Amino acid sequence: MQVVLVGSGAREHALAWRLARSPGLTELHAAPGNPGIAALGRCHPVRAEDGEGLLSLAVTIEADLIVVGPEAPLVAGVGDELRMNGFPVFGPSADAARIEGSKSFAKEIMRAAGVPTAKTMSVARPPCVVKADGLASGKGVFVCRTAAEVDDALQAVTAFGGEFVIEELLEGEEVSLFAVTDGRRVVPVGAAQDFKRIGDGDTGPNTGGMGAYSPVPWFEDVDALVEQIHQPVIEELARRASPFVGCLFAGLMITDDGPKVLEFNARFGDPETQVLLPRLQGDLLQLLFACAVGDVAGSSTAMSGEAAVTVVLAAPDYPARSDYAGAPIDGIAAAEATGALVFHGGTAVRNGMVVTNGGRILSVTATGSTVGDARERAYAAVDLISFDGAQYRRDIARG
């Protein structure tokens, strides 16, 4: 199969690494990819949101499957254009991707599907959570415990310009729960815990994610919860004639009243994918293709008994900025020599050298027999990598 992978982050590098091991792969193409992906396939200078560019690439290489990694191209509808032209796409239509792109749409679907979620409030009164309606890369959600925080949040969401949602503040542990689907049936692909704040001890601003681990040892009900949460949402979207094909990612809060959905995403998580895929057994290409062609019945997945931990190395001014370019990165080969997987997130090659080019620069994953073992190996590999101003959390997966 000729496969086009859309995106350029560490999640896409992890997908590429796993797709490259599938016997059915003839050639992997990335749009635009990154230096890590370039070692596994051919990178094309086509932006992830460039629908026309993607279509022309798919036509040229006679693509058998297009896998879309990030949310922005999905919400923008690149999947629709490709599908309309007859290409199998792993990734939802713009209509179905609204489950991530619009918080109010997600709430409406959850209500209709009977999925447990935070109660909506009509007035913002602390404690509560205020969420801008559209895509905001994690920056549109404000957890408010005081009246002053509510005032700031309302001002901020107004500055985002559009609608917003107010909901009750839930307390508990967060878990990311993943399933892939062909629009009718769901196949669970495991759970992971993500570390969203920039600083150790969950301090500082929210980020895209600074590290993750899987499995979550105390969270065992993966299959039952996918049945209870993902399945009815997929059925509701199908009922509305916007079937969801791709990865449905539920962000859960495990409260004293049981699991509740904080949000849905229309794609794999980053950095969760960097710990799920090293554990996934079987043929990823076959699974994603089965979803894309509406034939997932009979597919199943199993996760290895091993644990995986990933640590994100970020730019010095991340998350305020994500454009740290040109700092040489040392030690990637040494880290890989320990058996760790070094996934490129924001890198470039200049004069034959790998340099920084983004906010989340690298995602370093290791596996082990326990989460603790995997964590030790991941940090041992991280210690071998350096670039000016690198920042990373030291407490990823530290119970």
Contact set with ligand GLY (CB under 6 A):
194, 209, 265, 269-270, 272
Binds 121, which of ligand GLY, ligand AMP, none (CB < 5 to 8 A, cut-off by type)? none
SS3 label, residue 282: coil
Minimum CB distance to ligand GLY, residue 178 (Å) = 10
Q: Select 270 or 283, whichever has its Cβ closest to ligand GLY.
A: 270
Residue carrying the six token digits 């704040």: 197
User: Which DSSP state fits 230?
Assistant: I
Is 10 or 129 the residue whose CB approaches ligand AMP more closely?
A: 129
Question: Please, what is the minimum distance in Å from the beta carbon of residue 342 to ligand GLY?
Answer: 19
The contact set with ligand AMP (CB under 6 A) reads 118, 129, 131, 138, 141, 143, 167, 169-170, 174, 196, 251, 262-263
Min CB(126)–ligand GLY separation in Å: 26
Smallest separation, CB 300 to ligand AMP (Å): 28
Give the SS3 label for residue 179: strand
Helix count and strand count (H, E) for the chain: 14, 21
> From ligand AMP, ligand GLY, none, which one binds at residue 269 (CB under 5 to 8 Å depending on kind)?
ligand GLY
d(CA 385, CA 39): 19
Whichever of 24 and 251 has its CB closer to ligand AMP, that residue is 251
- Residue 69 binds which of ligand GLY, ligand AMP, none (CB < 5-8 A, kind-dependent): none
Report the alpha-carbon angle 239-241-247, nearest 5. 85
Rounded CA separation 45/341 (Å): 25
DSSP reduced 3-state for 360: strand
Q: What are the Cα distances from residue 346, in Å, to 69, 313, 317, 356, 376?
A: 15, 10, 14, 6, 24
Rounded to an integer, what distance in angstroms lies between the CA atom of residue 332 and that of residue 304? 26
Name the binder of 347 from ligand AMP, ligand GLY, none, CB < 5-8 A by kind. none
Across-strand partners of 258? 255
Q: Which does 167 bind (CB under 5 to 8 A by kind): ligand AMP, ligand GLY, none?
A: ligand AMP
DSSP 311: E
Nearest distance, CB of residue 168 and ligand AMP, angstroms? 6
Shortest CB 137 distance to ligand AMP, Å: 9
> Which single residue brings its beta carbon nearest to ligand AMP?
263
